[in-house]
């Protein structure tokens, strides 16, 4: 590659990274946090077998897992204005990513709840705790430990999926890259460059996952303390 | 009388597991429930603590009568506050340390101040000989130690009666001894206990009453000495003979 290419790559680095830090990461963090709240709520109503809410949860998960993320983004951003609902690009992306991710994570959390031995709940009752107290203090923490690797996986997948938000004019990393390519025609080095930045983000998250697993897993350790 | 059960019935689908069982426990009694597998012993214990719901029957606890077929959540909560349960497979809270297992019910369910709960918890652990394991998680303890923590957890809430569901059945003989010795200590201190067990030594030497069940009914209920030395029912004699042959 000629020196010119390296110059383009070096010049664009901050221009790509900056929207990564100001858009991609906040979008991921906000949407994933909301998704977790949705996931736990949806998993709990199914686990507890709450009538009506349980069916609503199944319906929600069915819809958001069964349709493409890109279609969901288009319906909300380009479709809803037809009925008078206009949402700015960033909040629209947060809304869609939260709902989409929430549907997937709800299934992960539900499976993890079902994997907690039934005796844990019974032991809670027998020391006088209520269903909700036992769920909150005993069953859910154990389920979250089980679900943690899968949820981390979903989070890492989501960081990359935020690039789809460029389709609804969110000026995140990938859109920033596309703009520079349009100006410089250096598609190959620039797209590889943005790919490497995504890889960097994923790597950091993978490391954080390892730290998190160690911390959460203290009680599963076999050796004495 | 601290606990009286009358005509308790429970079916799982078409299978009738309890066919009208009566049971009486006095203050300070150690009652052993014996019987072959599938006789309904465990189900009886679980119905009395509402881990299963009986279809019919009456329960009198501390003089207060309850109809088992239409008991309310509130009544169940109140009754559970006065009882404790020790499971066959311990069921310690896996994400809590030994001490936290013991204090959880005090802090969360009874709103005992934490410092006070910890004090009670440490005393309970000392009682079962596990003061040095307070900060261990269940996964770091042997089966016998886990069961002793479970007994400490049961003691901590100051129950009027403790239900034991085959507390040593998951343990090898060596570990069985350490759990039984803790239970013997409790009996000597006058703790009221209702114990489903296969340990004949415990039934004979520690418990003061034996209830022998088969096929969902009580075949014989008698003081331990009488039960082992002069059983009235032929079925009891057969059972004892079978046990002695082992």
Sort out which chain B residues have CB atoms less than 8 A from A223's CB and list them: 140
Tokens of A198: 């995504």
Segment B224-246, tens digit of pLDDT: 999 999 999 999 999 998 887 76
Please, what CATH class does the domain formed by A3-224 belong to? mainly alpha
CA-CA-CA-CA torsion sign (B97, B99, B102, B106): negative
* Contact yes or no for A174/A166 (Cβ under 8 A): yes
Per-domain residue ranges of chain A: 3-224
Say if the Cβ atoms of B108 and A145 lie within 8 Å.
no
| This prediction's pTM | 0.89
Nearest CA in chain B to A143: B95
Segment A21-45, tens digit of pLDDT: 999 999 999 999 999 999 999 999 9
Sort out which chain A residues have CB atoms less than 8 A from B157's CB and list them: 127-128
Q: Which residues contact A30 (CB under 8 A, 6 or more apart)?
A: A94, A98
Q: How many CB atoms lie within 10 A of CB B129?
A: 15
What is the rounded average pLDDT of the residues A84-97?
97
Whole-angstrom distance, CA of residue A58 vs CA of residue B159: 42
pLDDT of residue B245: 74
Q: How many CB atoms lie within 10 A of CB A186?
A: 18
Flag whether pLDDT at A223 surpasses 60.
no
| Of the partner residues A127, A130, A142, the one whose CB lies closest to the CB of residue B95 | A142
Exposure pattern of B182-204 as b/e (b: 16+ CB <10 Å)? bbeebbeeebbbbbbbbbbebbe
Residue A192 pLDDT level (bands cut at 50, 70, 90): very high
Quote the mean pLDDT of chain B.
94
Sort out which chain B residues have CB atoms less than 8 A from A218's CB and list them: 137
Ramachandran quadrant class, A51 (left: phi over 0; alpha: psi -120 to 50; beta: rest)? beta
Say if the Cβ atoms of A222 and B136 lie within 8 Å.
no
Say if the Cβ atoms of B77 and A225 lie within 8 Å.
no
Q: Give the distance from CA A23 to its chain's centroid.
A: 14
* Residue count (chain B): 246
| Of the partner residues B77, B109, B139, the one whose CB lies closest to the CB of residue A222 | B139
Residue B234: phi and psi, rounded to 5, are: -65, -40
What is the rounded average pLDDT of the residues B165-191?
94
Sort out which chain A residues have CB atoms less than 8 A from B77's CB and list them: 128, 130
- Tell me the residue ranges of DSSP E strands in chain B: 3-12, 15-25, 30-34, 56-61, 64-67, 83-86, 161-165, 193-196, 209-214, 217-223
**ipTM confidence:** 0.93
Distance from CA of B117 to the nearest CA of A (A): 13
Helix (H) or strand (E) run with residue B171 in it: none
Tokens of A163: 């690039």
Mutate to test the interface with A, among B73, B97, B104 (most CBs of A within 10 A): B104
Residue B19: phi and psi, rounded to 5, are: -110, 50
Residue A4 pLDDT level (bands cut at 50, 70, 90): confident
Between helices A89-115 and A25-48, what is the axis angle to 10°? 40
**Triad B82, B23, B89: Cα angle to 5°:** 60
């Amino acid at each position: 590659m000629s020196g010119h290419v390296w110059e383009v790559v070096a010049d664009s680095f901050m221009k790509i990274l900056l929207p990564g830090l100001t858009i991609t990461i906040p979008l991921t963090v906000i949407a994933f946090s909301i998704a977790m709240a949705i996931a736990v709520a949806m998993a709990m109503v199914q686990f507890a077998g709450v009538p009506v809410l349980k069916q609503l949860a199944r319906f929600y998960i069915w819809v958001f897992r069964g349709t493409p993320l890109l279609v969901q983004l288009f319906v909300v951003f380009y479709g809803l204005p037809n009925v008078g609902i206009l949402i700015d690009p960033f909040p629209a992306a947060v809304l869609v990513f939260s709902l989409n991710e929430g549907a997937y994570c709800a299934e992960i959390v539900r499976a993890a709840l079902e994997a907690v031995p039934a005796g844990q709940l019974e032991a809670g009752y027998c020391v006088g705790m209520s269903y909700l107290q036992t769920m909150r203090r005993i069953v859910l923490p154990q389920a979250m430990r089980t679900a943690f690797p899968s949820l981390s996986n979903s989070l890492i997948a989501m960081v990359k999926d935020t690039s789809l938000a460029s389709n609804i004019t969110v000026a995140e990393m990938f859109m920033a890259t596309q703009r520079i390519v349009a100006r410089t025609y250096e598609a190959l080095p620039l797209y590889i460059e943005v790919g490497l930045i995504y890889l960097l983000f994923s790597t950091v998250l993978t490391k954080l996952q390892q730290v998190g697993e160690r911390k959460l897993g203290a009680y599963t350790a076999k050796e004495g303390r | 009388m601290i606990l009286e059960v009358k005509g308790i019935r429970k079916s799982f689908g078409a299978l009738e597991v309890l066919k009208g069982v009566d049971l009486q426990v006095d203050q300070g009694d150690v009652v052993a429930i014996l019987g072959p597998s599938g006789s309904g012993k465990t189900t009886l214990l679980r119905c009395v603590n509402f881990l299963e719901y009986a279809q019919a029957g009456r329960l009198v606890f501390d003089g207060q009568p309850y109809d088992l077929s239409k008991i309310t959540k509130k009544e169940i909560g109140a009754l559970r506050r006065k009882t404790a349960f020790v499971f066959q497979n311990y069921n310690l809270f896996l994400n809590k340390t030994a001490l936290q297992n013991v204090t959880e019910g005090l802090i969360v369910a009874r709103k005992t101040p934490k410092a006070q709960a910890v004090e009670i918890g440490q005393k309970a652990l000392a009682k079962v000989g596990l003061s040095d394991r307070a900060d261990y998680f269940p996964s770091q303890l042997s089966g016998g130690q886990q069961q002793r923590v479970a007994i400490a957890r049961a003691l901590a809430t100051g129950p009027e009666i403790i239900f034991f569901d085959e507390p040593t059945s998951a343990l090898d003989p060596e570990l069985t001894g350490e759990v039984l010795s803790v239970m013997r200590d409790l009996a000597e201190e006058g703790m009221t206990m209702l114990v489903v067990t296969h340990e004949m030594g415990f039934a004979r030497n520690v418990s003061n009453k034996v209830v022998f069940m088969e096929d969902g009914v009580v075949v014989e209920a008698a003081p331990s000495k009488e039960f082992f030395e002069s059983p009235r029912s032929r079925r009891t004699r057969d059972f004892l003979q079978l046990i002695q042959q082992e």
